[in-house]
A and B are shown apart, each in its own frame.
Chain A
Amino acid sequence: DTEVTQTPKHLVMGMTNKKSLKCEQHMGHRAMYWYKQKAKKPPELMFVYSYEKLSINESVPSRFSPECPNSSLLNLHLHALQPEDSALYLCASSQDLASGRGNEQFFGPGTRLTVL
């Protein structure tokens, strides 16, 4: 299984809502990532988890709260978002954070988020 799955595929939420994005992989990978991608732009790194511990937080606003309950799951909790947060949110995983073969990142299909 070389698949990263993300749910939901689409999400529309108001600025006062609380919602969560979910990402799952069963490749035994120990590093997982959240990226934000605006239309016709490259993905921008938000968070990196390594062995279920937060490794990188790229100065992301606190209205985005990541969680890694176990090595296969990654969540992104959303609260009080702004319309400019509307984007495609991509999850990715890799074997780990080390160098060497097999460190390529596998991406999920993304969640298209619209904030009204």
Chain B
Amino acid sequence: AQTVTQSQPEMSVQEAETVTLSCTYDTSENNYYLFWYKQPPSRQMILVIRQEAYKQQNATENRFSVNFQKAAKSFSLKISDSQLGDTAMYFCAFMKPGGGADGLTFGKGTHLIIQP
């Protein structure tokens, strides 16, 4: 079974700062998919970024980028120039090579607060 660990229950930074959320996972699979989802107080879960394990290049989406270290089984999310709208719960998630057959395995989440 896969496990996903997010060791930071809550983080708080000032607006415009850069923040990094950590995520580690455990799996015996070689190919898999990793995701970061954002859930604002309005509760809609939104996909922020995805990474395929067979790709060495780190994924980026505008101000969001990941540091994917496959050997270390680490998948951190960096948010640059943080904005008030980035305040949300952030979940790291794992998907097995079979795709969605087992759904997503989520970490416990990190509550990120952006202070004005």
Residues of A near any B CB (own CB < 8 A): 31, 33, 35, 40-43, 45, 48, 50, 55-56, 88, 90, 92, 94, 96-101, 103-110, 112
Contact = CB atoms under 8 A, between A and B. Distances in A.
Contacts, number: 74
Interface residues of B, number: 28
Contact of A103 (B91, B95, B111): B95
A55 B33 contact: no
Contacts of A40: 89, 109, 111
B99 A105 contact: no
Contact of B45 (A56, A90, A97, A101): A90
Interface string B43-84: 111110010100000000000000000000000000000000
Contacts of B52: 101
Given A104-B35, A109-B44, A43 B106 contact: yes
Given A109-B44, A110-B43, A97 B108 contact: no
Contacts of A42: 91, 106-109
